[in-house]
A and B are shown apart, each in its own frame.
Chain A
Amino acid sequence: MKKIIVLLLLVAMTVSLLAGCNNSKGNDSQNTTKKTDDSKDTKDTADTKDTSGDKAAKGEVKPLKYGFISWGTADEHGRTLNAAVEWAVEAAGGEFVMDGSAISAESTIAAAENLIQAGCNIIAFCTYAGEASVPQISRLCQENKVYWTMWDTTISDADIRAMIEQDPYYVGNTNEDQYDAGYKTMKAMAEAGAKNTIVVKYGVNIPTCDERVEGATAAAKELGVNLLYEIVAPEDYKKAAQDALVAYPDADSFFLAGAGSQSPSLAAAMREAGKNKFYIGAFDYFDQMGDELKDGALTIINGGHMVTGTFSALMAINAYFDTPLSEDKYMVTIPYLTLSSYEDYEAYIQYASQGAAYTSEELQKYLKVYNPDLTLESFQEGVSKWSIADIKERKGVN
């Protein structure tokens, strides 16, 4: 019996080894050919870029293979994010290639290597797994003359920032204005009636979280809302909320700076404290948010930032088509998709989650080859419109 198992294992190992050889050989030759062509293409592009000026206006639609790196498409954000990038690539007539294996800095680098090997002309990634991947990916892209961009990212390390500033293939990045989002959320809560708020932070020393709270604090000061207490990274959100409500019985609202899925726990704590009218402002979409918005437990929620991938793609595609929006590296600020009613939620589900929020024609307006009047300012202006109202208007819904 043992001999048979050993034999079977040997056969299986030999077959898989040979299959691997065959694949890698095939891929190599294929990739080499593609890469040579691409190298030529991108080299030309880089040369063009050096003497941009009037050549920028003479850009052309070129064969495009766009490589997108993420953690996968299993969850709502990953799924909509990948789909939203595909909208942009389709609008540019390109081919979308995704690598959903990036769960660490190392696997992000590996994904970049794979996509470059697969012949991508542009790659895009995010530093959610750490900024350590950036220098290596920058080096890879320069070696292979591949344009690159980062979505939903702001580099905090000054040395890395200085390094990528010198990279001719780095285009820029997109991110949200966390301070502004925090400010607007608290403002909406105050306008709804919040007077005494407990702030709930999901982590310690996380710039995204801290900036949201800073914005909320500024709005609270301005609008006369009392910030009673700050809960930081609780193990049990409901218990933490209950404890805070016992200590501060006047509290009528929670500002949840992230981890929106904990909103039901906060709402339950409010109800059990005998408060029927309360206000919760939160970040990060979650499955139950429709119900929470419907029964009034949730006042406002921010999320829907999948277009951060769409617009970073359009930025890089403009550069690849020899029509860069700027000769310098630049950042485009993406607003959150803010939901403050069940109708907003329904519109999000229908037009952004399950459908395409932008048509190809609408996205081509963000490509200079189709819209020669496009400038960086008008690009940012268009991006800033991203909202439920904007989606409804474009879809012809009242």
Chain B
Amino acid sequence: MINVKSKSISIKAILLTVLLPIVVYAVLSCFRPDIYLQKSTFIMLLTQALSNVIIGWSMVFGMSVGLFDFSVGARILLAAFFGVHMSQRFGIAGFVIGCIVASIIIAILTGLIYASLKIPSIITGFSALLIFESLAVMYQNRITVIIGDDISIFGTSPGIYIVSVITFIAVYALFNNTKFGYQIKAIGGNEAVAKSMGINSVKIKLLTYVVGGLILAFATMVKVGYAGTITARTNMSSMSMCFTPMMGVMIGLYISSCNPVIGVFIGSFTITIVSSGLVALGIESRLQNVVVGIFLILFIGWKTNFYRIQELIRKRRHNNIPLQE
């Protein structure tokens, strides 16, 4: 009996989790069945979402303990330039090792600034963004940015799927089956209580930067391979690179019916479908961000106020019953 009940609960959780992208996709399919009922469109959207999903996974550790790091975009750029530079000397191995080494070093530096100086993560992120963005511009000016065809395997099928699956397994295991993951959840739940239990929150937060840096290296590889190019950005414009993944993480953390790691995927995939759908519906591209923003507000607003809304509906029903009688 208990087994049947828990089975039905988990099926319900799965359905609730995948409901969001399915509903959005179904709505778009009604408007443009010629596009959205094609297998190639679905695969394209899935591929598009993956680089943001991996960036989101790199942020999920930090965001779970309340760290907001806007330097992610600048860190991707700097690691990418180093990786591309290394690829010109040592081929694809140089690219992989270059991205990983650079990304981890940059993450450690950012984490150390946060942990040693006790500066709020947002301010640390902005400072790191300014520094790494400028360094990326200078780096780009000193190298010839030519992305070889071999690098594109990370951004095309099957390479992008292999990297994504490996990253998912690693992130899922780290988040759900390790002491580190439990400590993150404890700090995210209540930092004061976690501290009183003997968890060194500063050390764990520093570790989230390092682990996030490693995951970000995979995201960098996928992003460069997917775009086939990389360009430095100035005036904090690299910050926009982390907005979509961040929204994905927020949606992921708010989908209470599933694990946050899966939620990040669901969130990022949903945003990708929404933004793609706006083009398909012929909505002016300037309005797309407005619609994505409104979608996010509505979704998080609904999730945050879910019980209040339920209560309101219940009260209204309750009030209506005597009237009908």
Contacts and interface: CB of A to CB of B under 8 A. Distances in A.
B229 A261 contact: yes
Contacts of B66: none
Nearest to B138: A74
A238 B227 contact: yes
A361 interface: no
B317 interface: no
B175 interface: no
Nearest to B228: A264
A268 interface: yes
A236 B276 contact: no
Contacts of A230: 284-285
A238 B227 CA distance: 6
B145 interface: yes
A265 interface: yes
Given A259-B231, A272-B156, A288-B147, A243 B226 contact: no
A232 interface: yes
Interface in A232-281: 232, 234-240, 242-244, 246-247, 259, 261-265, 267-268, 272
A243 B229 contact: no
B144 A287 contact: yes
Secondary structure dominating the interface of A: helix
A237 B280 contact: no
Chain A interface size, under 10 / 10 to 19 / 20 to 34 / 35 or more: 20 to 34
| Most chain B beta-carbon contacts within 10 A, residue among A75, A231, A263 | A75
Interface residues of B, number: 34
Contacts of B116: none
Contacts of A286: 145, 229
B280 A265 contact: no
24 contacts: A74-B138, A75-B141, A229-B279, A229-B282, A230-B284, A232-B286, A234-B285, A235-B240, A235-B241, A235-B243, A236-B48, A240-B285, A242-B276, A246-B44, A246-B279, A246-B280, A247-B35, A247-B280, A261-B229, A262-B229, A267-B228, A268-B228, A286-B229, A288-B147
Give the 9 A-B CB pairs with smallest separation, nearest first.
Answer: A74-B141, A243-B279, A264-B228, A247-B280, A264-B229, A243-B276, A75-B141, A232-B285, A268-B228
Given A238-B226, A243-B275, A268-B227, 13 more contacts: A234-B285, A235-B241, A235-B244, A239-B48, A240-B285, A243-B48, A246-B41, A246-B279, A246-B280, A261-B229, A265-B229, A287-B145, A288-B147
